[in-house]
Amino acid sequence: MKLLEARIREDGLVLPGNVLKVNSFLNHQIDPELMNTIGQEFAHLFRDDNITRILTVESSGIAPAIMTGLALHVPVLFARKTKSSTMNNSLYTADVYSYTKKVTNKISVDQKFLLADDNVLIIDDFLANGQAVSGLLEICRQAQANVAGVGIVVEKAFQTGGQLLRDQGVRLESLAQIASFADDQVHFVGEVVE
C-alpha cells in the first residue's frame, strides 16, 4: 500500500533494536483517515471470504481492526492482556511471549463472543516474531472457529513471524513489508533502489 509506505517514510523513526516508531499515526496518536483507508484495503482483500468477525489484541491492533470491521460490517473482538473485572464468563486464553519485552502475557477473550461457526479475520498493527498472532490463532482453535486469514499493517519481513504463519498455511496479507532498517532507513520489500 503506497500511501502507507509513504507515511512510514515520512513519519516513521528507526530506533535501536530494529524497532520502527510510528507514534504519530498508529501506536499513540492515530490518524483516523489513514486507518479508514487501511480498513477498506483489508475489507477489499477479504471481500469474498464471508468474514463474520474481526479478532485483534489490545491495544494497538484495535484501530485498524475497527476500521476493517466497519468496512465489512462485522463485529470487532479484541483479546485482553489483563483480565477485566467484568469478565466473569468462561474464557479462551493463550500465552504470548514478547521477544522485545521478554515477558509472557496471557491474552483472553470471552467464549460467548467467538463461535464455532465464525469465519475470523485476524488483524494486528505489527508482525515481528508472530507471537501475538499465534496466540490469536490458538484462541480461534479453542473456539473451533475458522480463520480466513491474517491482515497486518506493518510486517517486519526480516523477522520470523511471516514465515511462521505461511508455513502453517495461514493466508497473510501485509500492507507494508519492511525488508530492513539498514543505515537507519526503512527499506520495503520489492522497492527499487535508484
Give the residue ranges of the annotated binding site for 5-phospho-alpha-D-ribose 1-diphosphate.
128-132
Binding mask 106-125 toward ligand G4P (x if CB under 6 A, else -) reads -------------------x
The reply to whether 12 sits near Na ion by the rule CB under 5 A is no
- As annotated, the binding site includes 20, 27, 128-132, 156
The reply to whether 52 sits near ligand G4P by the rule CB under 6 A is no
CB of 107 to ligand G4P, least distance (A): 9
Query: CB under 8 Å to 19, separation ≥6 — which residues?
Result: 100
Q: Which helix (H) or strand (E) holds 188?
A: strand 187-188
Binding mask 4-23 toward ligand G4P (x if CB under 6 A, else -) reads ---------------xxxx-
Q: Is 115 helix (H, G, I), strand (E, B) or coil?
A: coil
Closest CA to 165 of 149, 188, 178: 149
The bridge status of strand 13-15 relative to strand 146-156 is unpaired
Q: Closer to Na ion at the Cβ: 58 or 191?
A: 58
The reply to whether 41 sits near Na ion by the rule CB under 5 A is no
Residues pairing with 93 in the sheet? 108
Residue 173's region, left for phi above 0, alpha for psi from -120 to 50, else beta, is beta
Q: Which of 29, 50, 59, 82 binds ligand G4P (CB under 6 A)?
A: 59
Judged by the rule CB under 5 A, the positions of this chain that interact with Na ion are: 60-61, 124-125
